């Protein structure tokens, strides 16, 4: 059995996420097979792109309900994190509904460019296993134009004009708005922490 299955729906960052996991010694498998995903110890939903076509692709692959039924640790990355929520303003689409809330567009302002691209600081909102060993204020690399609101599920925030959820968690469901595979030591540690998680 693989250490982690990456859901292979066509998300643009899936290869770099796999390489980052393999650098940590993990056996990472790409799959769009519902049975293989259901049997995995841990599952990652990567993603780059837009919410509406991503959800359409997951539906066409028959993966929406299998993802919703997962009990093992699940990590959404970038767009994959946004898809964990109930809905997104990007295309006004219903998403997976594993986390409450709606993804909203980041608001541009003087000296605030959208999409948000580049390094930004993570601000912790309390202790969390996923953030173990990652300093409050550590830098992570972001590329996104939409974001999740800060809520009770927010483990860390970042600020680009508005403050938004940068890392989230509820039960065995987690998300990182930034790209851990491109975030040097902080990103590597987050992935290592996820690989250490066991099913509840």
Instruction: Tell whether the model's pLDDT for residue 31 goes beyond 80.
Output: yes
Structural domain count of the chain: 1
**Are 136 and 172 contacting, i.e. CB atoms less than 8 angstroms apart?**
no
Instruction: Tell whether the model's pLDDT for residue 3 goes beyond 90.
Output: no
**Considering the entire predicted model, what is its pTM?**
0.96
Is 21 a member of any domain? Answer: yes
Range of the domain at 42: 4-195
Is 85 a member of any domain? Answer: yes
Alpha carbon of 136 to those of 3, 116, 128, 200: distances in Å? 28, 20, 12, 27
Report residue 10's pLDDT band, with 50, 70 and 90 as the boundaries: confident
Q: What is the CATH number of the domain that holds 111?
A: 3.40.50.880
Q: What is the largest CA-CA distance in the chain?
A: 50
Average pLDDT score over residue span 101-114: 91
The CA distance from 58 to 19, in Å, is 23
Instruction: Tell whether the model's pLDDT for residue 200 goes beyond 70.
Output: no
Q: Which helix (H) or strand (E) holds 68?
A: helix 64-68
What residues are labeled active site?
78, 179, 181
**Are 67 and 57 contacting, i.e. CB atoms less than 8 angstroms apart?**
no
Is 200 a member of any domain? Answer: no
Residue 1 is predicted with a pLDDT of 47
Residue 82 is predicted with a pLDDT of 98
Residue 169 is predicted with a pLDDT of 98
């Amino acid at each position: 059995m693989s250490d982690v299955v990456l859901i292979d729906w066509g998300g643009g960052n899936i290869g770099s996420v796999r390489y980052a996991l393999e650098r940590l010694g993990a056996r990472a498998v790409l799959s769009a097979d519902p049975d293989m995903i259901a049997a995995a110890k841990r599952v990652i939903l990567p993603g780059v792109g837009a919410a509406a076509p991503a959800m359409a692709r997951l539906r066409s692959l028959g993966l929406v309900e299998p993802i919703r039924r997962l009990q093992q640790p699940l990590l959404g990355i970038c767009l994959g994190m946004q898809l964990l929520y109930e809905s997104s303003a990007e295309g006004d689409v219903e998403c997976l509904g594993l986390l409450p809330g709606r993804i909203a567009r980041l608001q541009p302002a003087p000296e605030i460019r959208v999409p948000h691209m580049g390094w930004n600081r993570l601000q912790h909102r309390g202790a969390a296993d996923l953030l173990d060993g990652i300093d409050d204020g550590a830098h992570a690399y972001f590329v996104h134009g939409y974001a999740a609101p800060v809520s009770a599920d927010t483990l860390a925030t970042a600020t680009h004009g508005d403050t938004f959820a940068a890392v989230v968690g509820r039960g065995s469901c987690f998300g990182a708005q930034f790209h851990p595979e491109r975030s040097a030591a902080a990103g590597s540690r987050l992935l290592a922490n996820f690989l250490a998680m066991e099913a509840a």
